[in-house]
Structure 1
Amino acid sequence: MEKNLPIGISSFVEIRSEPYYYVDKTPFVEKLVSEGKYYFLSRPRRFGKSLFVDTLKQAFLGRKELFQGLYLEKNWDWSVRYPVIHIDFGGGEVKGAEGLEKWILQQLEEHQNLYEITCKWKDDYHACFRELILKLSQKYASKVVVLVDEYDKPILDCIEDRETAKAVRDVLKNFYSVLKPLDTQLKFVFLTGVSKFSKVSLFSGLNQLRDITLSREYSTICGYTQRELEEVFREELKDKNLELIRCWYNGYSWLGEPLYNPFDVLLYLEEKQFHPYWFETGTPSFLVKLLMEKRFYLPELENLVATDSLIGSFDIDRVRPENLLFQAGYLTIKRIFSLADKILYELSYPNKEVKVALNEVLAEYFTGDTGEVSLKTRDFLLALERNQFEKMKKVLEGLYAGIPHDWFRKNELFRYEGYYASCFYAFLCGSGLEVIPEDITNKGQIDLTVLYRERVYLFEFKVVEGEEGEGKALAQLKEKGYHKKYEGKSKEIYLIGIEFSSRERNIKGFFWEKIN
């Protein structure tokens, strides 16, 4: 093998220039290489996938100087170096198959220039990729390492246009199909993404590919554990509330211990205030529309039970909310259990950041609001603080009045109790309040419970046909005695019955009563 292998520029080099901020994940590098050859890892955006791919790259290139003080420094054969093909789809946006082909060819050309190799297949990305692997193997008398970062981003970029997404998927299918026949020329293959699409040959062609997304032994390969956070950032955390930081940013899980998103941690320590840093780096518009299209009952997001098929791979033609919510990082695994030999996963929000920020967006979309939700949130919180129930009612009337009339033309949403409850739930969660949907008691379920300071508010919803409220929702709360669950636990308990008119499509009955 030639000794002067080109190395290029690396984000890992930049991170290592500030070693204090580097959480050592290099034990996973040694473990992966020693145990297998083909791997796939799915994690949400901004979760450290790219940094880990770059760590792999620098290890295979033999850059020992970058690993001083890290586990891999003394647990890696630095005498052997490998040519690396590093394809990164995370740095741009593609809106069609033709654009994707050009982007692939551009990256392959950059590798040809880097390694001083000329491929004769200049316009055929499939043939050029194959030729590049073969020529690298021949030139360096070595097997080749292939690293693909954000393999699925070209599909996700155009997911709302399903025909275009299918065409992009087919390009990727053809591109990744190069790998299987070249097994003898390949040393190691590692691919990352947010989602796992079932019809990409990456998964159907590479039979030996190991998906480590839900592998317990690799569950902490990206992200920070509580121990890593407290050890690496000890100085910065001296005057910080660790429990509040955990509440805001910890909680992601892939069958292992809960994790922090590194992006949130670093920005929080820099800005020194709690903010939805990670959430604001992406716009879940497609997901929000999908939840609306499927009439998804939003309170179920607190405790959603899914099967392997619902959180595993999916196809463009059959995208389910549960799948997208989990893979995109808006829900995470809280518990795994089995019923009738079927493995089930209990999903919920990972932390406060996601719960509050996602529901604020959902409230805006579900009510057709264009920016007024934050003002209504302020007014509702002030009314709640002062127990001004008439003002609460007016805020909610304004919220529902914003629902676009066109939304009711082709469906029966105005008769759908769950829709009104979903809007209210999203509004309350987006306000940052502690909300318990479908609160279980020994008498049944409360539609919605809000805990605020030392007060408890119990809500019941009804859809009525007439224009005037009848008080049935409040009567049910009293009849069932739901409030007994909180007697002795709170200073004040309030029962609130809200009735919606299917004709007027707004609140027509708002009845309340204080219990103690």
Structure 2
Amino acid sequence: CGITEDEMLTQMKEDMGMLAAKLNISPEEVLLKLKGNYDGYHFTYPSPDLYNPFSLLNAFADGKFGSYWFGSGTPTYLIKMLEKFGVEPSEVGGKTAAVEDFDAPTETMSSITPLLYQSGYITIKGYDSELGLYTLDIPNKEVRVGLMRSLLPYYVSTPTEKTNTMVAYLSRDIRNDDMDSALRRLQTFLSTIPYCDNTRYEGHYQQMFYIIFSLLGSFVDVEVRTPRGRVDVVLRTKTTLYVMELKLDKTAGEALEQINLKNYPERFALCGLPVVKVAINFDSERCTIGEWKLQTIDKW
């Protein structure tokens, strides 16, 4: 089914060494990057982590960390099935299911889960023996980023080259903890899109944020539960945690008021990172960000 880490450290040690030399990083760093990009598959439980052999061997052959699984083209059929079953991008992973609900014929499936599992978009990540339920999630960075790149044109109808450039600059803004510049960049980018559809409900912008932030390689989640409600978007980088509230055709002040009223940041006090409240209002007429407010909490 795949290649284990034990095999990586023994039979493929020489390949890792050559890749490390070519990229001028240590073999330990190479293993971490290979693991993050191509590891994480399980087809039973318990099971060792399995690397995708196609992607792994291509990375060794090319001497770089490429996106090989999606190199053959856009998964058009999957995108149509996501639409048919009403599955949002943020709902692809993080599933709990009995084995008969995902290890089942796709011809008679009543949900998209069997297709996602059998085509490798989600894999087994845990098992509750008492309940007989499996935890299913996206296996690794290569699959997550590749899938989100495929879905982004359905939320942002603009040429791929322009979108990729925007995401690259946005990634730098976020790495520099400059959310203000990131939102200004997004505002300008979205305002240049000539046609926008399905933009008159908050969920559209929530899913768009989920896709874009997923492409940055940071942890992102939506509808995160707290004792007093649900946070629209949570973005965690290496240095900062952003708690976001999104409004449509209202004001950033109302969004910030909701964050403060429900004290969302308290839920994340133990993360050990500075928390930034991000209140955003979208303008449906202009199909872009209208205004935003930022507040930083350094200490609890």
Normalised-by-shorter TM-score class: 0.7 to 0.9
Give yes or no for the alignment of 1:314 onto 2:96. no
Match of 2:16 among 237, 243, 255: 237
Residue 504 of structure 1 deviates from its aligned partner by 4.3
Match of 2:169 among 362, 379, 382: 379
Mapped to 1, the partners of 2:257 and 2:169 lie a distance apart of 27
Q: 1:393 to 1:234 in 2, by over 3 A?
A: closer
Residue 261 of structure 1 deviates from its aligned partner by 1.0
Match of 1:345 among 129, 134, 144: 134
Q: Give the secondary-structure state (helix, strand or coil) at the position aligned to 1:373.
A: helix
Match of 2:36 among 244, 247, 263: 247
Mapped to 2, the partners of 1:417 and 1:250 lie a distance apart of 34
Match of 1:458 in 2: 243
Residue 296 of structure 1 deviates from its aligned partner by 2.2
Match of 1:113 in 2: none
Mapped to 2, the partners of 1:423 and 1:374 lie a distance apart of 14
Residue 348 of structure 1 deviates from its aligned partner by 0.9
Structure 1: tracts of 5 or more residues without a match: 1-221, 408-412
Q: Give the secondary-structure state (helix, strand or coil) at the position aligned to 1:279.
A: coil
Mapped to 2, the partners of 1:324 and 1:399 lie a distance apart of 34
Match of 2:282 in 1: 500
Aligned 8 A contact 2:89 2:151 in 1: no
Q: Give the secondary-structure state (helix, strand or coil) at the position aligned to 2:232.
A: strand
Match of 2:81 among 264, 270, 290: 290
Match of 1:227 in 2: 6
Residue 389 of structure 1 deviates from its aligned partner by 4.1
Mapped to 1, the partners of 2:163 and 2:218 lie a distance apart of 15
Letter in 2 for 1:432: G
Q: 1:311 to 1:496 in 2, by over 3 A?
A: farther
Q: 1:387 to 1:337 in 2, by over 3 A?
A: closer
- Residues 279-306 of structure 1, C-alpha deviations (whole Å, 9 max, x = no match): 3234212212332454422222341234
Q: Which structure is larger by alpha-carbon Rg, 1 or 2?
A: 1
Q: Give the secondary-structure state (helix, strand or coil) at the position aligned to 1:497.
A: strand
Letter in 1 for 2:105: S
Q: 1:394 to 1:248 in 2, by over 3 A?
A: same
Mapped to 2, the partners of 1:450 and 1:485 lie a distance apart of 14
TM-score between both structures, scaled by the size of structure 1: 0.50
Match of 1:264 in 2: 55
- Residues 189-216 of structure 1, C-alpha deviations (whole Å, 9 max, x = no match): xxxxxxxxxxxxxxxxxxxxxxxxxxxx
Match of 2:157 in 1: 368
Q: Give the secondary-structure state (helix, strand or coil) at the position aligned to 1:288.
A: helix
Residue 503 of structure 1 deviates from its aligned partner by 4.6
- Residues 219-278 of structure 1, C-alpha deviations (whole Å, 9 max, x = no match): xxx211222222211222345232332121111111133211111221222223212122
Residue 495 of structure 1 deviates from its aligned partner by 0.6
Residue 320 of structure 1 deviates from its aligned partner by 4.2
Residue 477 of structure 1 deviates from its aligned partner by 1.6
Letter in 1 for 2:292: F
Q: Give the secondary-structure state (helix, strand or coil) at the position aligned to 1:457.
A: strand
Give yes or no for the alignment of 1:446 onto 2:231. yes
Residue 446 of structure 1 deviates from its aligned partner by 2.5
Structure 2: tracts of 5 or more residues without a match: 18-25
Q: Give the secondary-structure state (helix, strand or coil) at the position aligned to 2:208.
A: helix
Letter in 2 for 1:223: G
Residue 497 of structure 1 deviates from its aligned partner by 1.5
Letter in 2 for 1:397: Q
- Residues 385-417 of structure 1, C-alpha deviations (whole Å, 9 max, x = no match): 444444322332345443744x4xxxxx33432
Superposed, which structure 2 residues align to 1:336-485 within 5 Å?
A: 336-337=127-128, 343-371=132-160, 372-401=162-191, 402=193, 404-405=195-196, 407=197, 413-464=198-249, 468-485=250-267
Match of 1:327 among 118, 140, 163: 118
Mapped to 1, the partners of 2:157 and 2:140 lie a distance apart of 26
Letter in 1 for 2:221: I
Mapped to 2, the partners of 1:399 and 1:301 lie a distance apart of 26
Q: 1:419 to 1:310 in 2, by over 3 A?
A: farther
Letter in 2 for 1:240: P
Mapped to 2, the partners of 1:488 and 1:326 lie a distance apart of 33
Note the aligned Cα RMSD (angstroms). Answer: 2.8
Residue 434 of structure 1 deviates from its aligned partner by 2.5
TM-score between both structures, scaled by the size of structure 2: 0.81
Aligned 8 A contact 2:275 2:296 in 1: yes
Q: Give the secondary-structure state (helix, strand or coil) at the position aligned to 1:426.
A: helix
Residue 351 of structure 1 deviates from its aligned partner by 0.7
- Residues 20-67 of structure 1, C-alpha deviations (whole Å, 9 max, x = no match): xxxxxxxxxxxxxxxxxxxxxxxxxxxxxxxxxxxxxxxxxxxxxxxx
Question: How many residues align structurally?
Answer: 283
Mapped to 2, the partners of 1:299 and 1:232 lie a distance apart of 37
Q: 1:367 to 1:289 in 2, by over 3 A?
A: farther
Residue 315 of structure 1 deviates from its aligned partner by 2.1
Letter in 2 for 1:514: T
Mapped to 1, the partners of 2:177 and 2:222 lie a distance apart of 21
Q: 1:361 to 1:395 in 2, by over 3 A?
A: farther
Letter in 2 for 1:330: Y
Q: Give the secondary-structure state (helix, strand or coil) at the position aligned to 1:471.
A: helix
Residue 326 of structure 1 deviates from its aligned partner by 1.6
